[in-house]
Structure 1
Amino acid sequence: MSNRRDHRTSKSALFDSFDSIEEGGIRASSSREIDEHSNNSAINSLQDRVSFLKRLTGDIHKEVESHNRMLDRIGNEMDTSRGIMSGTMARFKMVFEKKSSRSMCKLAAYFVVSFFIIYYSLRFFRYFMNG
């Protein structure tokens, strides 16, 4: 009986030590699995963030390119408008110079005609007054 007890004790000791090793192994492997799982989830999170930032920078690049094209078109249109405006201003300048010289000629002509009218009307009144 003592042999049986020894056998049972040694058997239970063997299984107890095996269970404790197995539990430690489970604990060690489960902590590794938890660490790997948290690392994988962190890597996945980083990958998601990187892909989001890549899409975002791609969208920003497209937006910048479209704004650059729009600014180039506006610059070209402004250059065209500047050319048209300078031509128009040159034409206005010619018209105003001609018009101002015409106006000056008309003003001088009115002045000369007015002078002769006043001169002859004064002579005419003097002639009738002196008699």
Structure 2
Amino acid sequence: MNLRRDYRSNRSALLDGIEEGGIRASSSYTSHEIDEHDNDRAIEGLQDRVNILKRLTGDIHEEVDSHNRILDRMGNDMDSSRGVLSGTMDRFKMVFETKSSRRMATLIASFLALFLLIYYLTK
């Protein structure tokens, strides 16, 4: 936006010297030199913007890479915990399958009675 203002002010400075009979010699620059100067400034502005965008995209790339590494580690941790959990469940299945139903009912009833006793004592 600032470049447009500069361009307009330069353009108006050029056109201020025009009279009906011809151009006054108020400026030592030709219009070609002024256009080249404006183009050079515009190119510098574009180069700055490209450099900023390049740094920004580099930062985004680094951030995405770090998030991918974190997600990979999390996935590996979930896989290992799934393995541990399935091993524990297999052990529970073996315990429940080998115990008789009568012993299991006695075990559950005693845990329930112990829980109720502790509950009433703490209350």
Alignment of 1:82 with 2:59, yes or no, is no
Equivalent-residue separation in structure 1 for 2:27 and 2:61 (angstroms): 52
| Root mean square deviation of aligned Cα | 2.8
Q: Taking every aligned residue pair, what percent have the same amino acid on both sides? A: 63
Gaps of 5+ in 2: 1-21, 106-123
1:49 counterpart residue number: 49
1:59-115 Cα deviation digits (max 9, x unpaired): 01100110111011011101101110110110111112123xx224788xxxxxxxx
Compute the displacement of 1:25 (Å). Answer: 8.9
Q: Does the residue aligned with 1:47 lie in a helix, a strand or coil?
A: helix
1:61 counterpart residue number: 61
TM-score of the two chains, using structure 1 as the length reference: 0.55
2:25 counterpart residue number: 23
Compute the displacement of 1:36 (Å). Answer: 1.4
1:72 counterpart residue number: 72
TM-score of the two chains, using structure 2 as the length reference: 0.58
Q: Does the residue aligned with 1:93 lie in a helix, a strand or coil?
A: helix
2:25 maps to a residue whose letter is E
Gaps of 5+ in 1: 1-19, 108-131
Q: Does the residue aligned with 2:88 lie in a helix, a strand or coil?
A: helix
* Residues 5-24 of structure 1 mapped to structure 2, 5 A cutoff: 23=25
Equivalent-residue separation in structure 1 for 2:59 and 2:90 (angstroms): 46
Q: Does the residue aligned with 2:56 lie in a helix, a strand or coil?
A: helix
Higher relative contact order (CA 8 A, sep 6+): 2
Equivalent-residue separation in structure 2 for 1:40 and 1:64 (angstroms): 36
Number of aligned positions between the proteins: 84
Compute the displacement of 1:21 (Å). Answer: 9.8
